[in-house]
């Protein structure tokens, strides 16, 4: 500590550095690895084909931008990540059917699988699954009884 009461390194005493959620950090690392992997495979596979080199670099840059957004850990970042990964998978499958190229698509499937895991959804502030969720707290039995009353007893079988 210095004489002014500040900690060495520029942080004040009592300042707590927020640590990102481990699941958000995992998804961020997966997307960064996907960007590097897809760029490395794409550039080595393109055989100096100008348009594919440009497309590969644009995808890698888009993935790096997605990693920056995902690092925030908000619900909008989760939706953007799921949509982007789904689009990347679709693009990879089209590219596979036209050019027998699959670089990065398998990694996108893995990343999308991690993103839709319930723990990742909770980490990004997504909807939590509760036992009596939806319909204003009505239970399924209440809905069955209401249908039975509305149909004059014919819904019970």
Alpha-carbon distance of 62 to 112, in angstroms, equals 16
- Kindly report, residue by residue over 5-28, the tens digit of the pLDDT: 555 555 555 444 455 688 899 999
Alpha-carbon distance of 108 to 1, in angstroms, equals 46
pLDDT at 58: 92
pLDDT at 78: 92
User: Which is nearest to 85 in space by CA: 102, 103, 110?
Assistant: 110
Indicate the DSSP class of residue 134: S
**Long-range contacts of residues 61-67, Cβ cutoff 8 Å, at least 24 apart:** 63/31, 63/32, 63/34, 63/35, 63/38, 63/88, 64/32, 64/35, 66/31, 67/28, 67/31, 67/32, 67/35
Alpha-carbon distance of 123 to 21, in angstroms, equals 7
- Kindly report, residue by residue over 21-58, the tens digit of the pLDDT: 888 999 999 999 999 988 888 888 767 778 888 888 89
pTM: 0.66
Task: For residue 105, give every residue at least 6 positions away whose Cβ sits within 8 Å of its Cβ, in sequence order, or none.
Answer: 88, 89, 92, 93, 95, 96
pLDDT at 145: 61
pLDDT at 132: 47
Q: What is the DSSP string of 4-65?
A: TSBPTTSPBTT--PPPPPHHHHHHHHHHHHHHHHHHHHHHHHSTT-HHHHHHHHHHHHHHHH
Q: Name the percent of the chain lying above pLDDT 90.
A: 31
- Kindly report, residue by residue over 113-136, the tens digit of the pLDDT: 999 998 888 888 865 555 445 555
pLDDT at 17: 46
Token code pair at residue 135: 């319909």
Domain ranges across the chain: 22-126
């Amino acid at each position: 500590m210095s004489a002014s009461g500040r900690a060495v390194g520029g942080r004040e005493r009592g300042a707590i550095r927020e640590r990102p959620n481990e699941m958000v950090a995992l998804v961020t690392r997966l997307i960064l690895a996907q960007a590097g992997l897809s760029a490395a495979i794409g550039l080595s596979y393109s055989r100096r084909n100008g348009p594919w080199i440009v497309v590969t670099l644009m995808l890698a840059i888009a993935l790096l931008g997605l990693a920056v957004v995902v690092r925030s850990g908000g619900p909008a970042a989760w939706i953007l990540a799921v949509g982007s990964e789904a689009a990347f998978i679709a693009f990879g499958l089209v590219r596979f059917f036209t050019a027998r190229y699959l670089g990065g698509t398998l990694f996108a499937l893995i990343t999308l699988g991690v993103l839709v895991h319930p723990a990742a959804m909770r980490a990004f502030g997504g909807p939590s699954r509760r036992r009596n969720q939806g319909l204003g707290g009505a239970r399924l039995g209440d809905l069955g009884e209401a249908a039975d009353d509305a149909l004059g007893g014919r819904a019970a079988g």
